[in-house]
A and B are shown apart, each in its own frame.
Chain A
Amino acid sequence: MAKRIGVEVSIAAAEAVGLCDVDVVAAYPITPQTHIVEHLSEMVADGHLDAEFIPVESEHSAMSCCIGSSAAGARTFTSTCSQGYALMSEICYIAASMRLPIVMAVANRALSAPINIWNDHADLMYARDAGWIQTIAENGQEVVDLLVHAFKVAEDHRVMLPVQVNLDGFTLSHMIEPILMPDAAEVKSFLPPYKAPLRLDPKNPVSFGVVGMPDVYTEARKAQDEAMKNSKPVIVEAWKEFGDKFGRYYKPVETYKSEDAETIIVTMGSISETAASAVDDLRSKGKKVGLVRIRLFRPFPGDEIIAAIKGAKSLVIIDRVVNFNGGALPGPVAIEIKSLLFDNGLTPKVGNFLAGLGGRDVTMENFEDMVEKMANGGVAGAYEIINVRE
């Protein structure tokens, strides 16, 4: 039986990776991700986890190591964030194109400059087009559950793509939360040992990471694109199987009081809990406000998002990054949702708010102000950065 324990989310994440019987962890420490790999290295050193822990000299090497390990057929994990992700990113693209089912936890943190170790989604958006499946946790329990789910999806022969599990740095990674740790035997039956469809094997030589000239590059990209498209039903199926086994059901998009809502707030990650409290408060004042939270970011769950927001007269879309587009466009999440709206012939009033940058708190009052603003003419321009001191 699963036990509910009070534990720091990073430690729980490491324990979850341990429950998945990972074979290789290659990682470099970076705040606020460090506790995850630090704890994994302790588990290996103390003999609690039968795995190789490779303390590399950089994130670039960490992902390079992960590629070798995964190509050899080993279940492979790493973790990073922010500048670490930036240094690693060259190899992240290669891992996806080589179709290696590596799992990585990213404790989302702002990008420099100025140097800032606190939470926003700059690294998540930097990783957006790398070809990894991306899920985003709202709380500690979800971090644990999404990590177990990540290996299941990544290693499915119908998918064979790396998965990035995002958790907000500090806001989640350093919180002590009550978490139901899954039972080891149940994780084992949910997640059988990894069987690589192709692997580095001297008896059956294969070459990974080969050159692709103009006569084949387009076809390689097409095959990878199809893999991302085809991953969604498997992701959903794995969440169903996870729910049947562990009793916690997940889906690409969560909705809260959104069915009859005139204004819907769209969020990702841990600020969604604050947004839900704001929705409750606004509802108690008679305002028809709801919340839609995106859990699956890549592949982007277009149908689910449209189904959830189609009745709204106005949308408050939160982006947690500044994307320096010159002012003509909103932030990245709003760009994607506006594209969906156009394709579906929907024209709600859209307000895009760039919020919670570099660890700045986003409060219930902030959400209520945004909703209020939408009722009074909306945002002037493509987006508005909130909480700026003039």
Chain B
Amino acid sequence: MAKETGIISWKKLNLGIAVTEPGNASQLKTGDWRSMKPITDREKCTKCGQCYIYCPDMVYSKDAEGYFVQNYYYCKGCGICAKECPVDAITMVQEVD
């Protein structure tokens, strides 16, 4: 059901709008809510993973070098990672289209 856009005919809704596909929140594009975007400065980053721990969505994952990289499909731009980063390596910058 909860596809990227959420656009669906009323005729195709499950009974009582139940979700029958477990974990389908991973398909929901929360990234388009964002107005500010987190950027990590790798010079400052200590790879501590606080951004990964505090992120309320599924934005951060560890890359081969051990850095935590953002998946902007999910990032709502809440700024918690930037606030929690102990070495101020993450900056929130304005989104431009």
Binding site for B on A (CB under 8 A): 97-100, 160, 197-198, 204-210, 212-213, 215-216, 218-220, 222-223, 226
Contact = CB atoms under 8 A, between A and B. Distances in A.
Contacts of A208: 16, 18
A219 B16 CA distance: 11
Nearest to B23: A205
Nearest to B20: A206
B6 A213 contact: yes
Contact of B17 (A205, A215, A220): A220
B13 interface: yes
- Give me the 5 closest cross-chain CB pairs, A-B, nearest first: A99-B16, A219-B10, A207-B19, A215-B6, A222-B10
Interface string B40-78: 000000000000000000000000000000000000000
Interface residues of B, number: 16
Contacts of B22: 205, 207
Contact of B13 (A100, A207, A216): A216
A98 B13 CA distance: 12
B8 A206 contact: no
Interface in B1-25: 5-11, 13-20, 22
B6 A100 contact: no
B16 A97 contact: yes
A269 to B, nearest CB: 30
Contact of B16 (A198, A213, A215, A226): A198
Contacts, number: 52
A213 B84 CA distance: 29
19 contacts: A99-B16, A160-B16, A197-B15, A198-B18, A204-B20, A207-B19, A208-B16, A209-B16, A210-B18, A210-B19, A212-B17, A215-B5, A216-B13, A219-B9, A220-B10, A222-B10, A223-B10, A223-B17, A226-B10
B45 to A, nearest CB: 34
Interface-central residue, B7, B8, B13, B17, by most chain A CB under 10 Å: B17
Contacts of A215: 5-7
Nearest to A197: B15
Contacts of A218: 10
Contacts of B15: 99, 160, 197-198
A170 B6 CA distance: 50
Contacts of A197: 15
A160 B16 CA distance: 9
A161 to B, nearest CB: 10
Given A198-B16, A219-B10, A219-B13, 19 more contacts: A97-B16, A99-B15, A99-B16, A160-B15, A206-B20, A207-B22, A210-B18, A210-B19, A212-B17, A213-B6, A215-B5, A219-B8, A219-B9, A220-B10, A222-B10, A223-B10, A223-B11, A223-B13, A226-B10
A113 to B, nearest CB: 36
A226 B17 CA distance: 14
Contacts of B17: 97, 210, 212, 216, 220, 223
A36 to B, nearest CB: 27
A98 B17 CA distance: 7
Contacts of B13: 216, 219-220, 223
Contacts of B5: 215
A215 B17 CA distance: 13
B95 to A, nearest CB: 21
A9 B11 CA distance: 42
Given A216-B13, A220-B13, A223-B13, A207 B18 contact: yes
